[in-house]
Amino acid sequence: MAIISLKEFKLIFWDFDGVIKDSVDVKTDAYLALFPKAPKNILEQIKSHHLEYGGISRLEKIPLYLDWVGIYPTDQVISQYLDQFANLVVQKVISSPWVPGVEQLLKQKLDHQKFVIVTGTPQKEIEEILLQLEIVSLFDHIFGAPTKKPNAIQWTLQNHYIQKEDSILIGDSKTDWLAANETGIQFLLRETNNSDFSVQYSGNKLKDFVGFI
């Protein structure tokens, strides 16, 4: 359990997959389903990379994975695979389980706090997901791909005149931790069984949000 309280922060940045919804496996399965004829070792490489860099957008991952499986990533090919990926994941993400305790925690947002989504999910897609989950109104800003997480964090800090020490990012991956480090804000790791980073990280972390405020 983390030793910090979220009440003390004026600005909380939230990753989505693995932090609000337990949807990391949905994305993993979708990446693997894109390449049914790929050799087993390449599929393992894709799975490992996706889990290690959970916060990186599919806009970056799919061209890389196409290259790994020997498909030349033209704009048209990338677009086709992005569409196929979106068709595989959107409804499954919406219907995936909430991370325990997070829905209640989000709805306990204090008057002095701002909540901001920073995710690798494409902008229109994350907006639609939050709308269907009926939590979109809880967030003051929503940043999806192609906006980089550090850029989203910096913009929010500057436009709301909030100090770095009053801000925290809750994420589940090394990518999230790096974004917090780059921008100088605190970091809270939501541990998952998927990531080696959860084992390596020795800072503030939690398994779920049950009873956590």
Whether the pLDDT of residue 4 is over 90: the answer is: no
Higher pLDDT, residue 213 or 132: 132
Written as one string, the DSSP assignment of 17-73 is BTTTB--HHHHHHHHHHT-TTS-HHHHHHHHHHHHHTTTS-HHHHHHHHHHHTT---
Confidence of residue 197 (pLDDT cuts 50, 70, 90): confident
Answer whether residue 82 shows pLDDT above 90.
Answer: yes
Is the pLDDT at 148 greater than 70? The verdict is: yes
At 106-147, the pLDDT tens digits run: 999 999 999 999 999 999 999 999 999 999 999 999 999 999
- Identify the band that residue 77 occupies on the pLDDT scale cut at 50, 70 and 90: very high
Q: How confident is the model at residue 1 (pLDDT cuts 50, 70, 90)?
A: very low
Q: What is the pTM of this model?
A: 0.90
In tens, the pLDDT along 8-42 reads 999 999 999 999 999 989 999 999 999 999 999 99
What's residue 105's pLDDT? 95
Sign of the dihedral through C-alpha 206, 181, 58, 34: negative
